[in-house]
Amino acid sequence: MTAVELDDEKLRNGLISALIAYSIWGFLPVYFKFVHAVPALEMLAHRIVWAVPFGAAIVLFRRQF
């Protein structure tokens, strides 16, 4: 890869990351509106329970045992 190709790839990755970050930031109030009635302990329990299978799937997908 040439330096120009690496710069283009970095620019593309940066733009994608920025768009994702701004989208998450923009939809966060909608998310909080939907979950305002959910108790905090239930939310915490779901985050813990669902983090394990998703984390395992990512590790398996990336083959980083």
End-to-end CA distance of the chain, in Å? 28
Whether pTM exceeds 0.85 = no
Q: Which residue has the higher pLDDT, 3 or 46?
A: 46
Query: Cα 50 to chain center, whole Å?
Result: 14
Under 8 Å between Cβ of 11 and 3: no
pLDDT tens digits along 7-59: 888 899 999 999 999 999 999 999 999 999 999 999 999 999 999 999 999 99
Tell me the residue length of the chain. 65
